[in-house]
Amino acid sequence: MKKTSTRLADGRELIYYDLRDDTVRDAVDRRPLERTHTTSEIRRDPLLGDQVAIASHRQGRTYHPPADQCPLCPTEGDRLSEIPDSSYDVVVFENRFPSLAGDSGRCEVVCFTSDHDASFASLTEEQARLVLDAWTDRTSELSHLPSVEQVFCFENRGEEIGVTLGHPHGQIYAYPFTTPRTALMLRSLATHKEATGGENLFDAVLARELADERVVLEGEHWVAFVPYAAHWPYEVHLYPKRRVPDLLGLDEAARSEFPQVYLELLRRFDRIFGEGEPPTPYIAAWHQAPFGTLEEFDGVTRDDFALHLELFTIRRTSGKLKFLAGSESGMSVFINDVPPERAAERLREVAS
């Protein structure tokens, strides 16, 4: 992998990740852009104890542009985009309309390929490995920023999810705090560790799932399963079998096997609802240990956390979506219409 860092016309950082070491990236952003000004602010809810990002400048962000005006495609002739070069393998750049900025963290866009009509599932294993390497590099770099406590790499796919740009891409949020969902996991870790005399809860969960009927696919270094208490109609958790706190902890064997396992998982997701259905909308979310201190979680260290990816769709059956209505949105109590065992069975049925 070759990494080349440059700047866009408004000062934002852009990084090329290339498969070939001899690739030259010297194209200049020719757009007449002014410096980006954001209004991102973090406010804490005193009752729930969580944080909310207030970012009014995002109202003006790009919304469903025509394919020939996609800002994530390479620059071509007089059609200027966020990527100055005429081609690329993987690109990461600072979001022009970030939810988090400055002392409130940082937001980046990850373009998986220059092919506008592709998807992550259509990437080659070599391309998917390059994306993994880019995620890992960004996790390392962002963790050293003084305002960053947790790094979250994710992909939103499909208009049903709320995606406004059709080009295959994901995002990275670098939060200045430990996110509420991660905090819940850390508290459960601490409680279980104390109650069992030191047993790791992630290890216990993984051992249980490996022995149960909800395993979807398994490699030498990775396992994917539908969790016992899945929140979503089709939800899969992907774990490395050797517990590590973040992407940086993966060894070469796990990195080499990841593209094969993950691409197969995504391709199965696209076959859940049968032939002729539009691509399955999904969210793919990496859960990594925070980089800040964990003093409030008694007895828990970063090494107790288990890196994993959670993949789920909001489509519950053909032509129907799972909406977060009163119980889910009002009380955070999910009601799942698809038994996890049946979801796992279906995902095994659609193996290629």
User: 312-348 pLDDT, tens per residue?
Assistant: 999 999 999 999 999 999 999 999 999 999 999 999 9
The torsion angles phi and psi of 5, rounded to 5 degrees, stand at -105, 135
What does the mean pLDDT of the chain come to? Answer: 95
168: closest CA among 284, 78, 255, 57? Answer: 284
Mean pLDDT of 108-120: 97
Residue among 169, 192, 221, 287 flagged as catalytic: 169
Residue 169 designated active-site: yes
Q: Scanning the structure block, which residue is given the tokens 């790499």?
A: 153
User: 198-229 pLDDT, tens per residue?
Assistant: 999 999 999 999 999 999 999 999 999 999 99
The pLDDT of residue 63: 65
Residue 59, pLDDT above cutoff 70: no
Calpha distance 111→117 (Å, rounded): 12
Are the C-beta atoms of 30 and 84 separated by less than 8 Å? yes
The two tokens of residue 332 are 């955070």
Kindly indicate the confidence band of residue 68, based on its pLDDT and cuts at 50, 70 and 90: confident
Calpha distance 113→116 (Å, rounded): 8
Q: Scanning the structure block, which residue is given the tokens 């400055």?
A: 102
Whole-structure pTM value: 0.96
Lowest-confidence pick of 50-54, 175-179, 272-276:
272-276
The pLDDT of residue 60: 61
